[in-house]
Structure 1
Amino acid sequence: MRILYDHQAFTGQRYGGVARYFHDLMESLLEMGVGVKLSLPFSNNEYLKNSSVRRPNKFKHIFGFMPTNMLVSRTNRLNSIVQLQRGKFDVFHPTFFHNYYLNHLGKKPFVLTYHDCIKERFNLNHIDNSSHAQKQELLNRAAKIIAISENTKADLLEFYQIKPEKIAVIYHATSFKNHQLPKDFQVKTPEKYLLYVGARNDYKNFTGFVTSIASVLKKHPDVHLLCAGGGDFNKTEHEFIASLDLQSQVKHFNFQSDDTLFYLYQQAIAFVYPSLYEGFGIPILEAFACGCPVVLSNTSCFPEVAQDAALYFNPNNQEDVAYKITEIIQNEALRKSLVEKGNIRQEYFSAEKTATQTLNVYKSILAK
């Protein structure tokens, strides 16, 4: 069996959940002996640096960030079209929602992974450039749809016209489960910190969360909120943090490797995920794998993924957020219990399981 994946998730992103998902899936399928090809001449994606799948050519932003990204994206798209027209594959699995491939597939089937309905739920048109009608067409023409949680499947059925049996729910996994830090690996961090990972915009509820825990941090001046990744704080964020007088306790941390992120999870008091909505939430599994207590919003997919292995708060209730964060800081027995439950819960998820179930989807299409 030969599976072709395209360039979309890897062209402009160095990091990100979607790119991580496809990279880990392809690596696992390769290990299982499945023929995997990634159509991607140019990319600066970090996950592909030592990949068995493909190591694309790196590029510099010689025309500026956006113009260069657009040029590289179009070049990669042309290459994907060439690969599609050659037809040397059995199933095509696009990595995002651009519909360029529909006129080049011929009779070959394709599978579409749908990660979340954040754009639909919150009317956030900047998330991608595909309209509702364009996505409906992709969903109609896909041979099978993979949803990454039951929550995402329910949302798809709410926002689009799809038969439930066309959707297969296949959970994510994390490579952190088998990650080993180099001996004596260390990173300079605050002694005590809560860890926030990733983007901070819109539905991520970063400002709402910081507002809710401002009084808690002031009562615990030795505790920091460490924000890993997601880009440096912008001017608005700096002004917001200053308005709460938390400049010395809310810090940003850029990381360049999985080793660093793994270490940050390991050393944290807890990982906090105050988002109002996610399709799955891979950082939850990363925290489990690192032995880090998990504190989550009680929204969307979070209870489905973490079950009893997390402490939950209502993200819209400042008092509840403050109470739960105080509890996780002060209650060592609670933290230990959550780590133990996380160790148990993480066994339900594995890269091999994700790959096997996805391979079964491919096989079911070709058997028709």
Structure 2
Amino acid sequence: MNIFFDHQTFSQQNYGGISRYFCELIAGINQQPTDHQAHLSLLVSNNAHLQEKGLGTVSFFPNLPFHRTQPFIYKLNKAFNRLEMRTRSYDVFHATYYEPYFLEHIRKRPVVVTFLDMIHEKYHTVFPELAADHQVMAWKKEIVNRASAIIAISENTKRDLIDYYRIPPERIRVIYLGSSVSVEQVTPETTTESPYLLFVGNRGIYKNFEPFLRAVAPLLRAHQVRLVCAGGGAFTPREIAILQELMVTQLVEHKPITDTTLRQLYSRALAFVFPSLYEGFGIPVLEAFACNCPILLSNRSSLPEIAGSAALYFDPDDAVSMQQATERMLTDARLRQTLRQQGHQQLLQFSWEKTVRETLDLYQRL
């Protein structure tokens, strides 16, 4: 069986959860002791996860800013995909994002699409940035009607799909994701630096960073605990102004990351904090589990489904709830140790090997 993966997410991301998922899936299929072959149709890309998984491709002016190279990368790869769709032999087509441009080229072959979240549908009336990307919702509607099979990465995402698109439940297969950080990669870390909470990734819109920061700033000052923001880009002028307003400029810092430095940050943190309003899955939860890091977590969307009893939860819309949960995490060492132990047990339910196995089973059923 030959599976054709298109270019979309690798033309739109230099790094991130979506492209990491597809890299793990493609590499995992090709490592199986079977005749299955995953083909990624890609001409150029600057995506970091391709290199990590040995799926390297030709880079495209990698030293230029992303916003300058991305439109050209997308157009080149889309044209290349159209050519390969007509000339290659393949049995199943798996779209890596939602643009349905491929439907006119693949004839009657089965189409699989993975729905990673329904953030546009749920929050486009709240956040203008999501409303501006209205095209994604139109694409989803078209592709839902044509897909041979639909993968949802959590039961929560499946429920949202049913609610918004009235899809029969039997058309949707829930296949969980895994963690690219394994427990074996993590060595116990000791440090003499001051204690910190860890926030990972993008801080914009529904990630809820600013409300969380405002809620816990008094605790940072009172306990002299830092908040380390890993990845997600340098602080914006607005964020810098807020840090000054809250008098925590010396206690909140940004750190660029690699996979190695991210593991170190998790393993040394007092806790990982995830105040997001919505997540389709939440890979950082599994990364924190693998790194022996206690988790302080929003009680929304898929997050309780993934973390189970191995996290301390708060209401991300309630400043008092965020503050009280954070203070408890800071002051209760026994709780932190219990969450570490429970996190290791919860992590056993998830792996990329399981993701690959269940996805191949879906392809074969088609």
**How much has 1:51 moved relative to structure 2?**
2.7
Match of 1:176, SS?
coil
Aligned partner of 1:180 in structure 2 is 185
Q: Deviations over 1:213-269 (max 9, x none)?
A: 011111111x100000111111111111111011001111111x2111111100000
Residue 294 of structure 1 corresponds to 295
Q: CA deviation at 1:179?
A: 5.0
SS of equivalent to 1:271: strand
Preserved CA contact (<8 Å) 1:153 1:169:
yes
**TM-score, scaled to structure 1:** 0.93
Query: Is it true that 1:355 corresponds to 2:346 in the alignment?
Result: no
Please state whether the residue corresponding to 1:238 is helix, strand or coil: helix
Q: Does 1:204 align with 2:183?
A: no
Tell whether 2:246 aligns with 1:244: yes
Residues 1:191 and 2:160 are matched in the alignment = no
Is residue 120 of structure 2 the alignment partner of residue 119 of structure 1? yes
- Separation in structure 1 between the aligned mates of residue 276 and residue 198 of structure 2, nearest angstrom: 14
Aligned to 1:40: 42
Any residues of structure 2 matched to 1:304-315 within 5 Å, and which?
304-315=305-316
Deviation by residue 1:38-63 (Cα, 9 ceiling, x = unmatched)? 111111111111433x2111121688
1:346 aligned to 2:341? no
1:167 maps to which of 168, 172, 177: 172
Is this contact kept in 2: 1:190–1:224, CA < 8 A? no
Distance 2:242 2:338 in 1: 34
- Unaligned segments of structure 2, at least 5 residues: none
Question: What amino acid is aligned across from residue 231 of structure 2 in structure 1?
Answer: G
Match of 1:136 among 141, 164, 168: 141
2:141 counterpart letter in structure 1: Q
1:189 CA drift (Å):
9.3
Aligned mates of 2:122, 2:25 — CA distance in 1: 27
One-letter amino acid matched to 2:147: A
Q: Which moved more, 1:108-117 or 1:118-127?
A: 118-127
CA distance in 1 between partners of 2:151 and 2:192 (Å): 39
Match of 1:259 in 2: 260
Match of 2:231 in 1: 229
Tell me the equivalent position of 1:336. Answer: 337
The unaligned stretches of length 5 or more in structure 1 are: none
Q: How does 1:48-197 map to 2 (within 5 A)?
A: 48-52=50-54, 54-60=55-61, 65-123=66-124, 124=127, 126-127=129-130, 128=133, 130-178=135-183, 180=185, 190-197=193-200
Letter in 1 for 2:219: V
How far has the Cα of 1:352 moved from its partner? 1.0
> 1:62 touches 1:68 (CA, 8 Å); kept in 2?
no
CA contact (8 A) 1:311 1:324 kept: yes
1:72, CA displacement in angstroms?
Answer: 1.3
Contact 2:120-2:137 within 8 A present in 1 as well: no
Flag the 1:64–1:261 CA change in 2: closer, same or farther, 3 A. closer
Cα distance, 1:185 vs structure 2: 9.3
Pairs aligned (count): 360
* Structure 2 CA distance for aligned equivalents of residues 178 and 268 of structure 1: 16
Give, as a single letter, the amino acid of the residue that structure 1 aligns with 2:293: C
Change in 2 beyond 3 A, CA 1:303/1:74: same
Change (3 A) 1:189 1:158: farther
Q: Say which SS state the counterpart of residue 113 (structure 2) adopts.
A: strand
Distance 1:189 1:175, change over 3 A: farther
Please give the alpha-carbon distance, in whole angstroms, between the structure 2 residues aligned to 1:13 and 1:179: 28
Q: Residue 199 of structure 1 aligns to a residue in which SS?
A: coil
Which stretch has the larger CA shift, 84-93 or 335-344? 84-93
Detail structure 1 runs of 4+ shifted over 2 Å in the superposition. 61-68, 124-134, 183-186, 188-191
Moved more, 259-268 or 314-323: 314-323
Change (3 A) 1:233 1:64: closer
Q: Does the 8 Å CA contact 1:7/1:95 hold for their aligned counterparts?
A: yes
- Give the superposition deviation at 1:157: 0.8
Amino acid at match of 1:218: R
Partner secondary structure for residue 97 of structure 1? coil
Cα distance change of structure 1 residues 5 and 189 upon mapping to structure 2, 3 Å threshold: farther
> In structure 2, the residue corresponding to 1:225 is in which secondary structure?
strand
Moved more, 145-154 or 98-107: 98-107
Alignment of 1:317-328 (within 5 A): 317-328=318-329
Partner Cα distance (2:118, 2:88) in 1 = 31
Give 1:14 deviation, angstroms. Answer: 1.9
Cα gap change, 1:64 to 1:150, in 2 (>3 Å): closer
Cα deviation digits, residues 153-188 of structure 1 (max 9, x gap): 00011111311110000111012125525x8999x9
Residue pair 1:14, 1:46 contacting (<8 A) in 2 also: yes
8 Å Cα contact 2:183/2:291 also seen in 1 = no
- What is the alpha-carbon distance in structure 2 between the residues aligned to residue 316 and residue 210 of structure 1? 12
Task: Give the 3-state SS of the residue equivalent to 1:359 in structure 2.
Answer: helix
- Equivalent residue, structure 1, for 2:25: 25
Quote how far apart the aligned CAs of 1:12 are: 3.4
Match of residue 13 from structure 1: 13
Distance 1:295 1:48, change over 3 A: same
